[in-house]
Chain A
Amino acid sequence: MELLERYLVAVRSFLPPAQQDDIEEELSANLHAQMEDRAAALGRPLTESEQEAIIQQHGHPMVVAARYQAHQGGLVFGRQLIGPALFPMYLRVLWVTMGVSVAIYLLVRVALVVAGNAMTFDEMLNTALVQLVIQFAVVTGIFAVADNYLPAMEWDARRPPVMPAIFRQGQLRPYLQAIVEIAVIVLCCYGLWLLFTRPSLLFGAAADPYQPGPIWQQVVWPALAIALVSIAMPIITLVRPVWARARPVLRLAVDVAVLGVLVYLALGSQWVVLAHAGSGSTSALTTINAVMFYSLRGLVIGTVVVCLLDGWKLLRQTRKRPA
């Protein structure tokens, strides 16, 4: 009964992960019983087209799975626009598209501000809201049309439609987590680059007389290597999920590398120097370096805590693994 198995796999793909095994087994028992009953009534095994007919009559996998949703939610505006069958997917797509739009919008805004194209808060809010409203309208429109078409949608019982892996519950999170991690690392690197090349953009004209000390040049390459490994980690575990087990080890290695860089910096001095002789106030320079002194030590302590926590997590994970 390969047709039936294929159909059950398709229904399963639309179900919440926690319920998949249970519902699939129950559906399998009921549909097998129906087919066996029919075969007994005919006095012979069912042909493939007879099996297809039973499966077709049972319903589209997405519609069948939707009936098992605990919350039969939908979007109603006067009349139902999006029913329970498509509503969970609609919410996930809406969340992803609006989330990505907001992230890109913020990145572009930051880049424009840095380039000198400032915008008032009102203007930013207006453009952001217009974007979000357009996103919402487009996604809702597409799903409302799809929902209207769904009851009459033709589908092939020999090749039942399956939910794309990226939209399945629990599948989307790793992708989004990876995007967020990479975006945060890139933003941090960009912020650090600004700090060392254009500090006045961050701190105003008051930062002009000062510049980072030579000690920072000695940690550029290690810091860059750490950033590249940090960006590579989520990408690799998405592309090669079997390597996800190595991720806690890599994360701990990155933590230790960051600790090493911070300790090196903390043991140094003159983190900020005058840009030109006599360009700034020596008392202000002393204050800045004092702040750096305590900040770096604070970061070292914080990173030690992070190393210990990640080390503890790794140890627990290693103990839990079966022999």
Chain B
Amino acid sequence: MLDNLRLELRRGCLTIAVLAQLRTEQYGYVLRKALADQGMEIDENTLYPLLRRLESQGLLVSIWREENKRNKRFYRLSSEGASVLAQLLEEWRSIDASLNRIIGAALLPDGAH
């Protein structure tokens, strides 16, 4: 049950993580690695279709480019995507602040809760 709840929590953060990471242009596999390196593991079967969906919604733009003799699809944030990301980050900070108030935890000097 904990795994399912954890998965749900992560799923809710996926879009914002992907949009934030794509402030720099990347292609699918490199994006997945970059997110994983920062602690956001995403299954490739979730990430790649998500990128296409975000592009169809106008939040990302993509371009095919040859790299290392292979055609790759590079994604980056569109202007609309940047605007949506800014709003989502605002929302994220608001949720974070609310949660902190609800939990009522104070940061200990060493950063642990």
- A25 to B72: give the CA distance in the assembly, Å: 8
Question: Which A residues touch B73, using CB under 8 A?
Answer: 25-26, 29
- Determine how close the nearest CB of chain B comes to the CB of A23; give it in whole angstroms: 8
Task: Determine whether the beta carbon of B71 is less than 8 Å from that of A30.
Answer: no
A68 close to chain B: CB less than 8 A: yes
Q: Which residues of B contact A31 (CB under 8 A)?
A: 29
Q: Does B52 count as interface, using CB distance less than 8 angstroms?
A: yes
- Among A27, A32, A33, point to the contact of B30 (Cβ < 8 A): A33
User: In this complex, what residue of A is CB-closest to B43?
Assistant: A59
Q: Is the C-beta of B45 less than 8 angstroms from some C-beta in chain A?
A: yes
Given contacts A33-B30, A34-B29, contact A26 B48 (CB under 8 A): yes
For residue B28, which residues in chain A have a CB less than 8 angstroms away from its CB? 26, 29-30
A154 to chain B, nearest CB (A): 18
A59 vs B49: C-alpha distance in the bound complex, in angstroms? 14
- How far apart sit A67 and B52, CA to CA, in the bound complex (Å)? 10
Q: Can you name the residue of chain A whose Cβ is closest to the Cβ of B31?
A: A30
Does more than half of chain B's interface fall in helix, strand or loop, or is it mixed?
helix
| Interchain CB contact (< 8 A) of A67 among B49, B71, B72 | B49
How far apart are B60's CB and chain A's nearest CB, in angstroms? Answer: 13
Output the least CB separation between B59 and chain A (Å). 16
Q: Which residue of B lies closest to A64 (CB)?
A: B45
* Chain B positions 53 through 83: 1 when the CB is less than 8 Å from some CB of chain A, otherwise 0: 0001000000000001011110000000000
- Verify A29–B71 contact, CB threshold 8 A: yes
Closest CB-CB distance, A216 to chain B, in whole Å? 60
Listed from nearest, the 4 A-B pairs whose CB atoms lie closest are: A33-B29, A67-B49, A30-B29, A30-B28
